[in-house]
Structure formats: C-alpha cells, structure tokens
Structure 1
Amino acid sequence: MFGCQCTKEKGTMKMIRLRTASMRSLNLEMKCTIRLLDDSEISCNIQRETKGQFLLDHICNHYSLLEKDYFGIRFVDPEKQRHWLDPNKPIAKQIKSHPPYTMCFRVKFYPHEPLKIKEELTRYLLYLQIKRDIFHGRLLCSFADAALLGACIVQAEIGDYDPDEHPDNYICDFKIFPKQSQKLERKIAEIHNSELRGQNPAVAEFNLLLKAHSLETYGVDPHPCKDSTGSTTFLGYTAMGFVVFQGNKRLHLIRWPDIYKLKFDGKTFYIIGIQKEKKNVLAFHTSTPAACKHLWKCGVENQAFYKYAKSSQVKTMTSSNIFFKGSRFRYCGKVAKEVVEASSKIQRYPPEVHRSLIPHSKSSYSLNKQLIINMEPLQPLLPSPSEEEEEAPVDEEEEEMKEARKALSWSYDFLMGNMQLNAFLKSFSRLVLVALGLLLVVFPLLLVLLESDIDISFLHEIRQTPEFEQFHNEYYCPLRKWVACKMGAVLDMPSSS
C-alpha cells in the first residue's frame, strides 16, 4: 500500500511539474525583429497569444504614424513563400518556426492619389517603398521616366548639384536601378543639374510619387505564373484592378467593378470577370498551392480595399463553389475611401521626419540581376531572396490536413471493423463512404435552400449566386412540376376495389 501510494504521489508531483512548465511556456516572451523601409531594424518582445496588430501599432508608434492603413508586415517562410501578417490572429500561430522572428514593414496598399496623403511622414515612407520597387525592378518605366525618377532620388538624397562637391561621375555612387548604364547616369545628372534645383527633400520625394503613380506597374507586386499556353506571366493588383504582364507588356487589365469572383484550386488561380454581360474566365498556374493561396488572398484584400466605399460592405470570400467549403477569408480593415476621409480630418502638428542618411550604394542587397536599363522599359522581376528573407514556418493548413487525415483514417477503420480488405474492396468501400457522405450533406442542404423560408446570411448569399438561380429555374422547378404531375395522376386513379 505504502509503495503504491508513494508511486501515485510521485505521479501527481510529475503532473504538477508538467503543468507548471506548460504555464511558463504560455508566458514565455519571444523576440521579434522588424526591418523598416530604410533598412534599419526595431525589436520587441511578444507572448504566444500576441496578435499581429500589436506589431503594427508598435511600428506606427515608433514613427508617430497616423495614416497607417496603407502599411503591413510581411514575412517569408522556409519555402520562400511570402505572407502578409494577419493583424487579427496570434503571431505565433502564423509563424510556426522557432523564435526569434524576423519580418518586414512594407507598403501593402499603394495610395491611388498621392495628393490626398495628408502628412509628409506618410509620403516619405511611400517614397522609400517606391525607391525599393525601382531598385528591385518591380516598376516598369521608359528610359526618360527612369532618368526623371533617378534624378528625383538624387535630389532628395544630396540636394542641389554642387560642382565643387560632385565630380563628373557622381551619379555612379547611387545604385538606383539593378543595373544602370552610363547613358542613363548622364541623363540623370543632366536633369538633376538643371530641372530640380531648389527642391528640398520633401518636394523631390513628392515629385517622384507623382511620376511613379502614373506608371502601369505602380503598386504591382508581381506574382510569377504560367498561362494556359505555358508562357510565363506576372500577375498583380493595382488600385484600378487586376493586371497581367508578359515581359514588359501589359496583356490584361480587369477593373475591380468587372471582377465577379477570384478563386483557386490547388495550384490553379481563376479570375472570373463580367464585361458587357459576358462572363470571361482566366486561369493561371502557380508553382505551389501555397503561392496560389497567397495570390488569392492578396486579390481578396486588394479588391476589398479599392472597390468598396465602406468596410461594412466587405464580405467573406470563399475559394470554391457552394457545395465545398474551401478556404474562407475576409478582409478586416478600412477601405481606401475611409482612409482618405480619415486623413483629411488629421489636425495635429506634423511630426518631424527623420530621413535616412544611408544612400542606396551602401545597401547590402545583391545586384546580381538580369536587368539592363537602356532604351527599353524595365522588366518586372520577383524580389530576390536577399530582399526580404524572414524566417517563418510552413503554412498551418498542412497541420490541419494532417489532423483531418488522421480523423478520416480512424473513422474508416472503425466503420470497417479494421478488416483486412484487398485493394479493390478497400477502394470501393471508400467510394461508397464518400458518396453516402455527400448525399447526407448535399441533399439536406438542397432541401433547405430550395424549399425552406430560412433566411440567414449564409443561405441568402448562396441563393443570390447566378449558378444557384440557374439551377433553380432551369432544373429544379421543371423537375418539381413533373413530380407533382405524376403524383397527382397516381392519386386521381380510381381504386381497384
């Protein structure tokens, strides 16, 4: 008795120690490092349940930034897949790698009209983002536009040209583009010497924003894909809509009001547009399912931000049709019109802007690009791994899939009594179970949709879809009428007695 009691007490003590360790792990602080737009870094400690909004607020407080809805935090997982940090979810659940975490503060939604940005601080941060876009080849422009953009950057960095301080080849010290020819550097120097004299940094930065926002790829974060012919294309989103580029040529621009639905299936991304009452479907193939899901989520967020007048109009989007759950996602935040309205109401004394004194030529980023600027427009490129290398874990969807497979395997073994079936019988049994499951789920749902008066939001949205209306009018109503006629005929038959 005494020995058993002692063992029990030891077990109890062990359990208490485990619980204590578990509680300690919940309160464990983890270090986060965020790289800012000028390549500087700030750090903070978070706990396991800390949400992404905490980091956004931490950075905005660091800058004293009020117009913060244009910005987001991005991280890259071990598979080199980029993600935007969700402000409403715990950071540790989004980034499953071991801390410390490293992320980047970037412009997520590019302002459609820089003139409506209220504060100089916001314009400066957008200027830093545009400068990064130029440096990494994401901004398409002609030779003349490239020279003007370069001259604005030089004017903002060093001010007016001074022959006593600036030698003939002073532009070569500025690595503005991935590769820049001497001809382009001479043109930048010419514009800097003659056209921009007297402009302070704020004015030069603003002029760069005005020129950049007029270009086709302003705000485009290029996603590499293959089209239906197998050709490489780059997809992206702008304030106007969805764009497709091949090389330096824009193939498609589908405006947000004309986009009916964005969805994905595995590695295939679909955009369904309606123009002149005609539905058009474009399909593109990504390298991985994770890249496809990221492309879809970016599209959902950009459409919500730029299309709607109020955030209350934004709806939850699903990646598949009405009979399969798929991925569900809803953009949470202000839309562009609300952001501009909030900016117009800012009344404070503008905060001081602390500009970085580190020129681009000191950057640690790799210049090993295949982009040469001559008379041809810039080629859209993906950000190199050296631009934004943050450590993050594999998407949580994989873990959910593992748990789902375990549950499905357990249910199957239980139903089949763990019998040793041959391959044919096992496959047939799975098919029967799937068919029965579909009947048990789909048939009651169809009855509720077609015959009940229940009007909850989920059912209301399904009933409003064109596919459901077509099914109801062209198939279900004629079938119900035919069944009613047959049943009426049977009931009207005279009794044999």
Structure 2
Amino acid sequence: MRESLRRLASDDAMAPRSCSGRVRVELLTGDHITIDVARKASGADLLDAICDDLDIVEKDYFGLLHVHRSDPRVWVDLKRRLSKTFRNEPWEVKMAVKFYPPEPSELNDEASRYQLGLAIRRDLIEGRLNCSTITYALLASYVLQAEVGDREGRVNVAMLTEHHAVPLQVITPDLEDKVDELYRKHKGQTPAEAELNYLENAKKLAMYGAELHSVKDSEDVDIELAVCAAGISVLRDGMVMNRFPWAKILKISYNKRTYTLRLRASEFDEFETHVSFKLASTRSSKRLWRCSVEHHMFFRREAPVAVERVSGWPRLGSRRVSCRRTLRQLRDPAAPHAPHAA
C-alpha cells in the first residue's frame, strides 16, 4: 500500500505541467500526494484516479472533503468540474469515507477495509467518534496487531500515538495495561484478520459512520443531528434523544434556515407529523438536506434517482447529489442502474 503511495507521488512529481489544475490530496494515512488533472475533470474523475492508485475497487463508499468558507468538512461534488469548485491552486482535498458500510465484512476489497479502518481511527482521534475506555483498549489492541504484528515488549504511549490507536487525551496507565492485556490475546492474527476484527467492533459504536450537523430545536436549544446508514438521530450533549429510521421518514426538505422531516404516522398516531430544526444559515440547511438525501439514496434506494424529478421536493438551489451507485447495486451488480437526469 505505501509503495503505491510513493509511486503515485513520484509519478506526479515527474508529470508535465500541461494540465490546467494541480490537486494536493491528503490521504487517510496522513500522507500527501499531488495530482495533475485536466480542465474538464470532475470530482468523480479525481476520486477514481486516487482509488485506482490505492487499489481500491469499491470506490462508491468514498468521497473527497475540502474547506469552504471556514467549514473544513464540505464534500466535493463528484458531478461538478473541479475548476468550478476551486479557485487558487493547488486545490486541496482530503480522501474520506462518505458512506460507512453497515457490515464491513461484506466489503470484498481488502484495500477498502484498510481505508475504512483508517477512517474510523481518524474519527476517533479527531473526536467525531467516542467510546468507553474498554472499547478504546480493544480497538487499540487490534490496531497494534494489524500494524506491528505479534506482541514484543510492553505497550507504551509511544506505540499508541505512533499508530494513532487512540486519542492522546484518553491514554492513562490503566488504558495502557488493558491494551497490553488484550493485545497479547491476538497473537497469530494476520493484519487482515486484525483489521476485520477492528471493523466488526467499531461498527457497534453508536455514532459509527454518522455525519454530525449542529442545529437548534423548536425551543432554540442547541442539539445535533446525526445522519448515518440507519437514519437520522437527535443528540443533546452527546446523548441520543430520538431516532428517525429511514423507513419512518416520508420527506426531507429545507426552506432557507429551516430543515424539516415529514414522518410517517405510527400505530398510535392518526396523522403524519413534521419535525423542524433551525440552522445557522441557508447554506448549512442545504448541506444537511443534501447529506440526508444522499445517505437515504445510498442506503435505501435500489438505484440513484434524479432528485429534480421527485414530485413535492422543494425547488431551492441545486438538485444534484453525489451518489453514483447505491449499496444495493454494490451488493448486487445486476441491480438496475440510475436513470438519466432531466
């Protein structure tokens, strides 16, 4: 894997400068590479080029992040030309997992599993994902087995930080002891086995694969909405207060700063209900709407649909979403393909 990264960086350094744009890419390993792209290259072209050099076959789980107006986590529109997304060169993006598979074991591609593991480790290190001390220790023990191999010597702070096994702020002598104890039990596991065990435990975390958005509820209280494979959750002070599974959501819309979910009537309700949230700006509201639509489309639909054709959707801003294939299509290559947009 790292040989491939070095080859890509070397090849790009030697490439002629005839292309119109240069992109600096931060990989999930923390390494940086620079790629020349054609004037008409789209976000999808860039993502495909990166995945090809990393030997990633299941590309549709991944996306590219960039900084936009001080927001560090804006997804690159895969269907839009890069030259229309960025201005000053080099254009800077980060490789990331956009759609976290509910069952990592279903990934057929070892490279995809490796990248997913790196993404989860980054989520933990950067505070987007939290867990108990014992879970931190268990996950760290699998990281060390995958990265270092069979245990030699005692686990220490240097090992845990070098391999980004846990956030620095959670490391204590007790945690080191627990990691050391668990690491010893993994003797004989191959890197691939240890990585899969890591993913199988990480998928059980409450916020695994969730994208968080800051909103206010009807009482003007600061909360968060977490969008993931299962649906949308409401969090307050880090605790899940409510969950709206995709099957319960009939419609997702936004109007200026207001984001609204229309919910199916339950067995105890006579009518459908609407739940609305306020965001800081229309741009934030649209970004949450787009994230929700893309996740619903990827995890629930047979194939991507052209959003502008769906009756009842609000006619505000762009209808374009970055979802090329759905989870069902990835699992079943014979599944129907997306219709063409109007």
Return the alpha-carbon distance in structure 1 between the equivalents of residues 210 and 333 of structure 2.
25
Gaps of at least 5 residues in structure 1 are 1-26, 344-456, 459-497
CA 1:173–1:31 in structure 2 vs 1: closer, same or farther (change >3 Å)?
A: closer
Return the alpha-carbon distance in structure 2 between the equivalents of residues 46 and 119 of structure 1.
26
Whether 2:128 is the aligned partner of 1:138: answer yes
> Residue 152 of structure 1 aligns with which residue?
142
Q: How far does the alpha carbon of each residue in 1:34-85 deviate from its partner, in whole angstroms, 9 at most, with x for none?
A: 1111011222222433222210121022112211110111111133263222
| Alpha-carbon shift at residue 232 of structure 1 (Å) | 2.1
Return the alpha-carbon distance in structure 2 between the equivalents of residues 325 and 243 of structure 1.
26
> Residue 54 of structure 1 aligns with which residue?
45
> Residue 302 of structure 2 aligns with which residue?
309
| Alpha-carbon shift at residue 126 of structure 1 (Å) | 0.5
Return the alpha-carbon distance in structure 2 between the equivalents of residues 170 and 49 of structure 1.
45
> Residue 382 of structure 1 aligns with which residue?
none
Whether 2:90 is the aligned partner of 1:100: answer yes
| Alpha-carbon shift at residue 300 of structure 1 (Å) | 0.7
Whether 2:284 is the aligned partner of 1:291: answer yes
> What's the secondary structure of 1:86's corresponding residue?
coil
CA 1:318–1:146 in structure 2 vs 1: closer, same or farther (change >3 Å)?
A: farther
CA 1:342–1:125 in structure 2 vs 1: closer, same or farther (change >3 Å)?
A: farther
Whether 2:202 is the aligned partner of 1:235: answer no
| Alpha-carbon shift at residue 321 of structure 1 (Å) | 6.0
Whether 2:197 is the aligned partner of 1:184: answer no
Return the alpha-carbon distance in structure 2 between the equivalents of residues 117 and 278 of structure 1.
40
- 1:254 is aligned, of 244, 247, 254, to 244
Return the alpha-carbon distance in structure 1 between the equivalents of residues 156 and 134 of structure 2.
20
- 1:85 is aligned, of 76, 80, 85, to 76
- 2:213 is aligned, of 214, 220, 223, to 223
CA 1:320–1:77 in structure 2 vs 1: closer, same or farther (change >3 Å)?
A: farther
Whether the 8 Å contact between 1:319 and 1:327 is mirrored in structure 2 is no
Whether 2:43 is the aligned partner of 1:43: answer no
Whether the 8 Å contact between 1:155 and 1:196 is mirrored in structure 2 is yes
Whether the 8 Å contact between 1:240 and 1:256 is mirrored in structure 2 is yes
Q: How far does the alpha carbon of each residue in 1:87-111 deviate from its partner, in whole angstroms, 9 at most, with x for none?
A: 221111122x322200011101111
Larger-gyration structure (1/2):
1
CA 1:153–1:110 in structure 2 vs 1: closer, same or farther (change >3 Å)?
A: same
What amino acid is the match of 1:296?
Answer: W
Matched positions, count: 312
Return the alpha-carbon distance in structure 2 between the equivalents of residues 342 and 328 of structure 1.
29
**Greater fraction of residues in helix:** 1
Q: Greater CA deviation, 100-109 or 144-153?
A: 144-153
Q: How far does the alpha carbon of each residue in 1:363-399 deviate from its partner, in whole angstroms, 9 at most, with x for none?
A: xxxxxxxxxxxxxxxxxxxxxxxxxxxxxxxxxxxxx
Q: How far does the alpha carbon of each residue in 1:314-344 deviate from its partner, in whole angstroms, 9 at most, with x for none?
A: 241599967x73124244411101112249x
TM-score using structure 1 length = 0.58
Runs (4+) off by over 4 Å: 167-175, 317-322
Return the alpha-carbon distance in structure 2 between the equivalents of residues 180 and 171 of structure 1.
14
TM-score using structure 2 length = 0.83
Return the alpha-carbon distance in structure 2 between the equivalents of residues 50 and 167 of structure 1.
46
Q: How far does the alpha carbon of each residue in 1:104-146 deviate from its partner, in whole angstroms, 9 at most, with x for none?
A: 1110111111121112111001111011111112223222222
**Greater fraction of residues in strand:** 2
Higher relative contact order by CA 8 Å / sep ≥ 6: 1 or 2? 1
| Alpha-carbon shift at residue 306 of structure 1 (Å) | 0.5
CA 1:173–1:116 in structure 2 vs 1: closer, same or farther (change >3 Å)?
A: closer
CA RMSD of aligned residues (A): 2.6
